[in-house]
């Protein structure tokens, strides 16, 4: 590891000093924290972290090194990386290189030796904010210059970023075994495990750029016909800035094509239905977030990465331009909307990551729910089964509503 000094500067002026970790230089972005104790390689390569500096709350990071199997995209997307106690030597049979070396090779500026507990508490109290990490010669600049560089960085609110992380070309992930369905997946920052989970269920996935038109989506099925379903992925940015994608989605809903959305896709479904979205105070990022499926009463431990949320009523169905819709899942920590389900068109979405990369397998049944929709199941009643290896499926029992709200997260647009 580099012995160069480094400094982290928050937009409100608070600073933390440490040592360079990864590349030496400077970077700016939005400071966010992730509570996952494992899965840092999937976090780093998740395109949803584009333009964000990730603070790891787990004190010891890098102990399993970096391998060639767990990437969720072709590169590291985080703008910067903050850790407390980096591993000196990785220990894992799949490890090929150290995390420090991988960050340096990809030009990702990080800092180690930081009191990440104090930094996380600061972000929880003050909210996510812009931050800069400066190391080597950059760290020697006057404090006023560093603070100005941070405050000059673009804010996440209003940012339309899907076009910066999406695929440039259409590609296909073939079904495993017999092809049952063909899905048009709009890549807003898709993680590689997501089409893999669909392929395991006999779905051929045609991955399209975020700029895909409605016509291109409607001709992405087998032999140039309509797809059996449409999927919108996770991705970075403010959903209120995504006008093109919302128009495409409204065209899909109007044609009653089965739809499934994850994370950013959930927010876009909310906006397509007429709901608002808002920025969370500090967001949800980690692999240990409890969520209730209100249709079954089942509580799932889930993987999250979102700084925005849908503003939809929790107390019953809402009338939308596409019929009735309900909040299907709710976060038990803070009452945040974590899923939507349409009752009159075949469409649903969740705010979290059922592909389990990284994270638990509790929500794998949602991919079965999608196949149920494409097979013609009633969107108001389908819950989906459980594929082998995906952990417990949807249980039975009445939903119990949402948990008590807290003051930590603002409600409303």
Active site amino acids: 263, 353, 355
| 48 marked as part of a ligand binding site | yes
Q: Going by DSSP bridges, is the β-strand pair 52-56/26-34 parallel, antiparallel, or unpaired?
A: parallel
| 163 marked as part of a ligand binding site | no
| 67 marked as part of a ligand binding site | no
Contact criterion met (CB below 8 Å) for 167 and 147: no
Handedness of CA 69, 72, 78, 84 (dihedral sign): negative
Q: Can you say how many angstroms the Cα of residue 74 is from the centroid of all Cα atoms in its chain?
A: 16
| 235 marked as part of a ligand binding site | yes
Contact criterion met (CB below 8 Å) for 365 and 394: yes
CA–CA dist 127, 107 (Å, integer):
27
Contact criterion met (CB below 8 Å) for 38 and 19: no
Tokens matching residue 167: 């695929």
| 52 marked as part of a ligand binding site | no
Three-state secondary structure string covering the chain:
CCCCEEEEEECCCCEEEEEEEEECCEEEEEEEEECCCCCHHHHHCCHHHECEEEEECCCEECCCCECCCCCCCCCCCECEEECCEECCCCCCCCCCECHHHHHHHCCCEEEECCCHHHHHHHHHHHCCEEEEEEEHHHHHCCHHHHHHHHHCCCCCCCCCCHHHHCCCCCEEECCCCCCCEEEEEECCCCCCHHHHHHHCCCEEEEEECCCCCHHHHHCCCHHHCCCCEEEECCCCCCHHHCHHHHHHHHHHHHCCCCEEEECHHHHHHHHHCCCEEEEEEEEEEEEEEEEEECCCCEEEEEEEEEEEEEECCCCCCEEECCEEEEEEEEECCCCCEEEEEECCCCEEEECCCCCCCCCCCCCCHHHHHHHHHHCCCCCCCCCCCCCCCCCCCCCCCCCCCCCCCCCCCCCCC
Which residues make up each annotated binding site? 48, 235, 237, 267, 305, 307-308
Which residues make up each annotated binding site for L-glutamine? 48, 235, 237, 267, 305, 307-308
């Amino acid at each position: 590891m580099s012995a160069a000094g480094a400094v982290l500067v928050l937009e409100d002026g608070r600073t933390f000093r440490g040592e360079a970790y990864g590349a030496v230089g400077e970077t700016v972005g939005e400071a966010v924290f992730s509570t996952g104790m494992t899965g840092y390689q999937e976090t780093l390569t998740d395109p949803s972290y584009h333009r964000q500096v990730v603070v790891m709350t787990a004190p010891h990071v890098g102990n399993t090194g970096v391998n060639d199997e767990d990437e969720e995209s072709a590169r590291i997307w985080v703008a910067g990386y903050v850790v407390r106690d980096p591993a000196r030597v990785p220990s894992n049979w799949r490890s090929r290189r150290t995390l420090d070396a991988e960050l340096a090779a990809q030009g990702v500026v990080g800092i180690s030796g930081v009191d990440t507990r104090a930094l996380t508490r600061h972000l929880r109290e003050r909210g996510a904010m812009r931050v800069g990490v400066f190391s080597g010669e950059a760290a020697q600049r006057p404090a006023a210059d560093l603070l100005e560089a941070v405050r000059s960085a673009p804010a996440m609110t209003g940012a339309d970023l899907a076009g910066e992380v999406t695929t440039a070309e259409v590609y296909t992930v073939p079904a495993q075994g017999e092809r049952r369905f063909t899905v048009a997946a709009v890549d807003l920052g898709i993680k590689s495990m997501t089409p893999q989970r669909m392929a395991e269920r006999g779905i051929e996935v045609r991955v399209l750029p975020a700029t895909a038109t409605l016509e291109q989506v409607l001709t992405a099925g087998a032999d140039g016909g309509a797809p059996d379903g449409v999927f919108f992925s996770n991705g970075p940015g403010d959903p209120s800035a995504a006008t093109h994608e919302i128009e495409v989605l409204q065209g899909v809903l109007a044609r009653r094509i089965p739809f499934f959305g994850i994370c950013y896709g959930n927010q876009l479904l909310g906006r397509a239905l007429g709901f608002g979205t808002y920025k969370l105070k500090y967001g949800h990022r980690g692999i240990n977030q409890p969520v209730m499926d209100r249709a079954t009463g089942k509580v799932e431990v889930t993987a999250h990465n979102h700084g925005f949320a849908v503003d939809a009523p929790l107390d019953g169905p809402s009338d939308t331009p596409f019929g009735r819709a309900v909040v299907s899942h709710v976060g038990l920590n803070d009452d945040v909307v974590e899923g939507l389900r349409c009752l009159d068109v075949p469409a649903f979405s969740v705010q979290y990551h059922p592909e389990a990369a990284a994270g638990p397998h509790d929500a794998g049944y949602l991919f079965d729910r999608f196949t149920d929709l494409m097979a013609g199941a009633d969107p108001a009643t389908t819950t989906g089964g459980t594929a082998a290896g995906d952990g417990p499926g949807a249980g039975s029992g009445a939903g119990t509503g949402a948990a008590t709200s807290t003051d930590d997260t603002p409600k409303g647009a």
